Copies of this chain bind each other. A is one copy, B any other.
Amino acid sequence: MARIAQTRSPRGVAGTRRGRPASAARPSANIRKVRQAGRREAILAAALAEFSARGFTATRLDDVAKRAGIAKGTIYLYFRDKESLFQELIRTMLSPLVGTIEALRDADVPVRMLADQLVELFVREVFLTRRKDVIRLMISEGPRFPKLAEFYYREVLSRIIAALRALLRRAHERGEIANDAVVRFPQLIAAPGIVAIIWTGLFDRFETIDVRAMMKAHVDLLFTQRSAA
Protein backbone atom coordinates (compact mmCIF):
# COMPACT_ATOMS: atom_id res chain seq x y z
CA MET A 1 0.00 0.00 0.00
CA ALA A 2 1.03 3.48 0.91
CA ARG A 3 3.42 4.12 -1.94
CA ILE A 4 5.63 7.10 -1.39
CA ALA A 5 4.67 10.22 -3.25
CA GLN A 6 7.51 12.70 -3.11
CA THR A 7 10.98 12.00 -4.42
CA ARG A 8 9.87 10.96 -7.83
CA SER A 9 12.98 9.39 -9.28
CA PRO A 10 13.94 5.76 -9.93
CA ARG A 11 11.19 3.63 -11.39
CA GLY A 12 9.52 6.47 -13.19
CA VAL A 13 12.76 7.61 -14.71
CA ALA A 14 13.90 4.17 -15.69
CA GLY A 15 10.55 3.50 -17.27
CA THR A 16 10.41 6.57 -19.50
CA ARG A 17 14.08 6.31 -20.15
CA ARG A 18 13.97 4.21 -23.33
CA GLY A 19 13.54 6.75 -26.12
CA ARG A 20 16.45 8.97 -25.17
CA PRO A 21 17.74 10.58 -28.45
CA ALA A 22 21.38 9.81 -27.83
CA SER A 23 23.72 9.93 -24.92
CA ALA A 24 24.92 13.16 -26.56
CA ALA A 25 24.26 16.63 -25.23
CA ARG A 26 25.73 16.28 -21.73
CA PRO A 27 29.57 16.43 -21.60
CA SER A 28 29.78 12.82 -20.65
CA ALA A 29 27.60 11.98 -17.75
CA ASN A 30 26.95 12.87 -14.26
CA ILE A 31 23.60 11.52 -15.17
CA ARG A 32 24.80 8.67 -13.10
CA LYS A 33 25.64 10.92 -10.19
CA VAL A 34 22.26 12.53 -10.40
CA ARG A 35 20.49 9.25 -10.55
CA GLN A 36 22.48 7.98 -7.61
CA ALA A 37 21.60 11.02 -5.57
CA GLY A 38 17.99 10.36 -6.44
CA ARG A 39 18.25 6.80 -5.28
CA ARG A 40 19.79 7.86 -2.05
CA GLU A 41 17.02 10.32 -1.40
CA ALA A 42 14.37 7.80 -2.32
CA ILE A 43 15.82 5.37 0.15
CA LEU A 44 15.97 8.00 2.88
CA ALA A 45 12.41 9.06 2.25
CA ALA A 46 11.19 5.48 2.32
CA ALA A 47 13.20 4.80 5.44
CA LEU A 48 11.69 7.80 7.19
CA ALA A 49 8.20 6.62 6.39
CA GLU A 50 8.85 3.11 7.61
CA PHE A 51 10.84 4.01 10.69
CA SER A 52 8.18 6.53 11.67
CA ALA A 53 5.41 4.04 11.29
CA ARG A 54 7.05 1.07 12.98
CA GLY A 55 10.10 2.17 14.90
CA PHE A 56 13.67 1.16 14.26
CA THR A 57 13.64 -2.50 15.22
CA ALA A 58 10.30 -3.40 13.70
CA THR A 59 11.12 -1.82 10.36
CA ARG A 60 11.93 -4.31 7.64
CA LEU A 61 14.48 -3.30 5.07
CA ASP A 62 12.46 -5.29 2.56
CA ASP A 63 9.67 -2.81 3.08
CA VAL A 64 11.97 0.16 2.80
CA ALA A 65 13.24 -1.22 -0.49
CA LYS A 66 9.77 -1.91 -1.81
CA ARG A 67 8.64 1.57 -0.90
CA ALA A 68 11.66 3.11 -2.56
CA GLY A 69 11.05 0.98 -5.63
CA ILE A 70 14.36 -0.81 -5.50
CA ALA A 71 15.76 -4.16 -4.45
CA LYS A 72 16.91 -4.70 -0.92
CA GLY A 73 20.49 -5.24 -1.94
CA THR A 74 20.62 -1.76 -3.40
CA ILE A 75 20.21 -0.25 0.03
CA TYR A 76 23.55 -1.73 0.92
CA LEU A 77 25.19 0.08 -1.96
CA TYR A 78 24.28 3.36 -0.29
CA PHE A 79 24.33 2.58 3.42
CA ARG A 80 26.52 0.30 5.47
CA ASP A 81 23.69 -1.26 7.42
CA LYS A 82 20.31 -0.62 8.96
CA GLU A 83 21.65 1.37 11.87
CA SER A 84 23.78 3.50 9.63
CA LEU A 85 20.77 4.24 7.44
CA PHE A 86 18.84 5.30 10.49
CA GLN A 87 21.53 7.57 11.81
CA GLU A 88 22.22 9.21 8.49
CA LEU A 89 18.53 9.81 8.07
CA ILE A 90 18.35 11.79 11.26
CA ARG A 91 21.56 13.66 10.62
CA THR A 92 20.51 14.63 7.14
CA MET A 93 17.17 15.94 8.25
CA LEU A 94 18.14 17.83 11.36
CA SER A 95 21.51 19.33 10.54
CA PRO A 96 20.08 22.10 8.34
CA LEU A 97 18.08 23.42 11.26
CA VAL A 98 21.10 24.77 13.05
CA GLY A 99 22.03 27.18 10.32
CA THR A 100 18.54 28.51 10.11
CA ILE A 101 18.36 29.15 13.81
CA GLU A 102 21.81 30.62 14.11
CA ALA A 103 20.91 32.99 11.33
CA LEU A 104 18.36 34.56 13.61
CA ARG A 105 20.81 34.89 16.46
CA ASP A 106 22.40 38.20 15.67
CA ALA A 107 19.42 39.94 14.19
CA ASP A 108 18.90 43.13 16.11
CA VAL A 109 15.16 43.22 16.39
CA PRO A 110 13.15 43.16 19.60
CA VAL A 111 13.31 39.67 21.07
CA ARG A 112 9.61 39.54 21.20
CA MET A 113 9.53 39.75 17.44
CA LEU A 114 12.24 37.15 17.17
CA ALA A 115 10.24 34.82 19.33
CA ASP A 116 7.28 35.15 17.02
CA GLN A 117 9.51 34.38 14.08
CA LEU A 118 10.82 31.36 15.92
CA VAL A 119 7.34 30.05 16.45
CA GLU A 120 6.54 30.58 12.81
CA LEU A 121 9.77 28.85 11.83
CA PHE A 122 8.99 25.89 14.00
CA VAL A 123 5.48 25.51 12.72
CA ARG A 124 6.41 25.88 9.09
CA GLU A 125 9.72 24.07 8.96
CA VAL A 126 9.22 21.41 11.54
CA PHE A 127 5.68 20.83 12.58
CA LEU A 128 4.20 20.87 9.11
CA THR A 129 6.98 18.84 7.56
CA ARG A 130 8.46 15.42 7.95
CA ARG A 131 11.02 16.88 10.28
CA LYS A 132 8.38 16.54 12.93
CA ASP A 133 8.57 12.79 12.43
CA VAL A 134 12.32 12.85 12.62
CA ILE A 135 12.16 14.59 15.95
CA ARG A 136 9.66 12.05 17.13
CA LEU A 137 12.06 9.33 16.06
CA MET A 138 14.88 11.04 17.88
CA ILE A 139 12.78 11.12 21.02
CA SER A 140 11.62 7.52 20.72
CA GLU A 141 14.77 5.80 19.59
CA GLY A 142 17.42 8.19 20.82
CA PRO A 143 17.98 6.52 24.17
CA ARG A 144 19.06 3.38 22.33
CA PHE A 145 21.47 5.26 20.05
CA PRO A 146 23.87 7.07 22.34
CA LYS A 147 26.04 8.10 19.42
CA LEU A 148 23.12 9.69 17.72
CA ALA A 149 21.98 11.46 20.85
CA GLU A 150 25.46 12.80 21.29
CA PHE A 151 25.59 14.03 17.72
CA TYR A 152 22.23 15.68 18.11
CA TYR A 153 23.17 17.32 21.36
CA ARG A 154 26.54 18.53 20.16
CA GLU A 155 25.66 19.60 16.65
CA VAL A 156 22.14 20.79 17.07
CA LEU A 157 20.71 21.26 20.51
CA SER A 158 23.63 22.76 22.40
CA ARG A 159 24.13 25.32 19.68
CA ILE A 160 20.51 26.29 19.57
CA ILE A 161 20.36 26.53 23.32
CA ALA A 162 23.51 28.60 23.51
CA ALA A 163 22.19 31.00 20.91
CA LEU A 164 18.86 31.24 22.67
CA ARG A 165 20.44 31.80 26.02
CA ALA A 166 22.58 34.68 24.81
CA LEU A 167 19.63 36.21 23.07
CA LEU A 168 17.36 35.89 26.04
CA ARG A 169 19.89 37.24 28.49
CA ARG A 170 20.29 40.33 26.40
CA ALA A 171 16.55 40.74 26.29
CA HIS A 172 16.24 40.28 30.00
CA GLU A 173 18.89 42.89 30.70
CA ARG A 174 17.12 45.30 28.41
CA GLY A 175 13.93 44.73 30.32
CA GLU A 176 12.15 43.10 27.43
CA ILE A 177 11.55 40.07 29.57
CA ALA A 178 10.25 40.49 33.09
CA ASN A 179 10.90 37.04 34.46
CA ASP A 180 14.26 35.34 34.09
CA ALA A 181 12.83 31.82 33.93
CA VAL A 182 13.47 31.41 30.22
CA VAL A 183 16.96 32.76 30.59
CA ARG A 184 17.76 30.04 33.06
CA PHE A 185 15.83 27.36 31.18
CA PRO A 186 15.80 28.10 27.47
CA GLN A 187 14.30 24.63 27.02
CA LEU A 188 11.04 26.18 28.10
CA ILE A 189 10.78 27.95 24.78
CA ALA A 190 10.67 24.67 22.94
CA ALA A 191 8.52 22.82 25.43
CA PRO A 192 5.13 23.52 23.85
CA GLY A 193 6.49 22.52 20.46
CA ILE A 194 7.78 19.22 21.78
CA VAL A 195 4.56 18.54 23.59
CA ALA A 196 2.59 19.31 20.46
CA ILE A 197 4.65 16.83 18.45
CA ILE A 198 4.09 14.11 21.00
CA TRP A 199 0.44 14.96 21.37
CA THR A 200 -0.37 14.78 17.70
CA GLY A 201 1.41 11.47 17.43
CA LEU A 202 -0.65 9.96 20.22
CA PHE A 203 -3.94 11.73 20.63
CA ASP A 204 -4.77 13.67 17.54
CA ARG A 205 -7.69 11.43 16.74
CA PHE A 206 -9.30 12.23 20.08
CA GLU A 207 -8.52 15.89 20.41
CA THR A 208 -6.59 18.05 18.02
CA ILE A 209 -4.26 20.74 19.16
CA ASP A 210 -3.66 24.10 17.54
CA VAL A 211 0.11 24.25 17.74
CA ARG A 212 0.52 27.73 16.49
CA ALA A 213 -2.05 29.09 18.90
CA MET A 214 -0.56 27.20 21.79
CA MET A 215 2.97 28.32 21.07
CA LYS A 216 1.87 31.91 20.59
CA ALA A 217 -0.01 31.83 23.85
CA HIS A 218 3.05 30.49 25.55
CA VAL A 219 5.27 33.17 24.07
CA ASP A 220 2.79 35.73 25.36
CA LEU A 221 3.33 34.29 28.79
CA LEU A 222 7.07 34.46 28.55
CA PHE A 223 6.95 38.07 27.55
CA THR A 224 4.24 39.24 29.88
CA GLN A 225 5.16 42.78 30.72
CA ARG A 226 4.64 44.22 34.08
CA SER A 227 1.80 46.59 33.47
CA ALA A 228 0.07 49.05 35.76
CA ALA A 229 -2.58 47.21 37.72
Contact = CB atoms under 8 A, between A and B. Distances in A.
A198 B55 contact: no
Contact of A221 (B141, B152, B222): B222
A194 B185 CA distance: 14
Contacts of A136: 143
A71 interface: no
Nearest to A191: B191
Nearest to A152: B202
Interface centre among A158, A178, A187 (most CB of B within 10 A): A187
Copies in the complex: 2
B199 A214 contact: no
Contacts of A58: 57, 144
B142 A218 contact: no
A155 B214 CA distance: 24
A221 B178 CA distance: 9
Contact of A55 (B139, B144, B158, B224): B144
A198 B153 CA distance: 13
Given A144-B54, A195-B190, A220-B179, A153 B226 contact: no
A94 B170 CA distance: 42
Given A55-B57, A228-B229, A187 B203 contact: no
Nearest to A224: B224
A214 B201 contact: no
Interface string A189-229: 01110110011011100110100011001101110101111
Interface of A: 53-58, 136, 138-144, 149-150, 152-154, 157-158, 178-179, 181-182, 184-185, 187-188, 190-192, 194-195, 198-199, 201-203, 206-207, 209, 213-214, 217-218, 220-222, 224, 226-229
